[in-house]
Amino acid sequence: MNKKLNLFFTILFVSSINCSSNKADYDIYQGEKAFKNNDLNSAFIHFSNAIELDPKNAGSYYMRGKIFAKRNEYLEAIADYTKAIKLKPSYYQAYYNRGIAYSVLGDLKKAIADYTKTITLEYPDRDANTYQLRAIAYYRIGENLNAITDYTEAIALDSKNGAVFYNRGLTYKALGKAKEAEADFAIAKAIGIK
């Protein structure tokens, strides 16, 4: 009788775990659907439920962080991105978005560190946007040579982005390199940036 009772409770326990996992998956699915429809309140509820049911799912924290960011609640976004990173240290999207949140809050050194980690993790699928954002952060703290290096890398990855040429031109201008600045401004204008 004892063996049957133990087996019953084991099956009941495993079933409850599977139900929680299925419910978490359902909340994640519904949360993603709501997020795509810009229904942030529903998405927030679903991802919060998913976190409660499966607190080790990095993706749920990441998505809730994106909701916080869309609501301009950057400290909360940073907290959720950080939890996602702790659960999945290779989560380059979480580093990228946390870098944006830090940048918005003016914590540019932390933003640069997160963009750097993003670049390291997403290699070889490097993204010009990450270099551009890190370049902007470098420019804002006066590290113009680092900014030039990153703008140049962004251009190598996407030579059709006029904003990058324009921003590199501004950085050259800040360095007193008028010739290089004018060349970049001309390219930006030709691409469509005024």
Q: How does DSSP assign 1-51, residue by residue?
A: -HHHHHHHHHHHHHHHHHHHHHHHHHHHHHHHHHHHTT-HHHHHHHHHHHH
Is there a domain that residue 137 lies in?
no
User: What is the predicted pLDDT for the residue at 126?
Assistant: 77
* Structural domain count, the chain: 1
Please tell me the pTM assigned to this model.
0.85
Domain of residue 67: give its range.
Answer: 1-88
- Which amino acid, residue 98? R
Is there a domain that residue 72 lies in?
yes
Is there a domain that residue 36 lies in?
yes
Token pair, residue 99, equals 């870098």
- Whether residue 73 contacts residue 53, with contact meaning beta carbons closer than 8 Å, is answered with no
Token pair, residue 158, equals 């996407």
Is there a domain that residue 23 lies in?
yes
User: What is the predicted pLDDT for the residue at 15?
Assistant: 39
Is there a domain that residue 158 lies in?
no
DSSP string across 55-118: TT-HHHHHHHHHHHHHTT-HHHHHHHHHHHHHH-TT-HHHHHHHHHHHHHTT-HHHHHHHHHHH
User: What is the predicted pLDDT for the residue at 4?
Assistant: 53
For residue 148, give the nearest of 126, 127, 165, 130 by alpha carbon. 165
Q: How many CB atoms lie within 10 A of CB 134?
A: 28
Is there a domain that residue 150 lies in?
no
* 119 vs 116: CA distance, rounded Å: 5
Is there a domain that residue 142 lies in?
no
* 4 vs 180: CA distance, rounded Å: 81
Alpha carbon separation from 73 to 29, 69, 101, 103 (Å, rounded): 23, 5, 9, 13
Is there a domain that residue 5 lies in?
yes
10-residue stretch averages of pLDDT, the chain, 194 residues long: 46 41 83 93 95 95 98 98 98 96 98 96 82 98 98 95 96 97 96 82
User: Domain with 38 in it: what CATH number?
Assistant: 1.25.40.10
Backbone angles phi, psi at 105, to 5 degrees: -80, -5
Alpha carbon separation from 115 to 93, 121, 134, 168 (Å, rounded): 10, 10, 6, 18
User: What is the predicted pLDDT for the residue at 193?
Assistant: 81
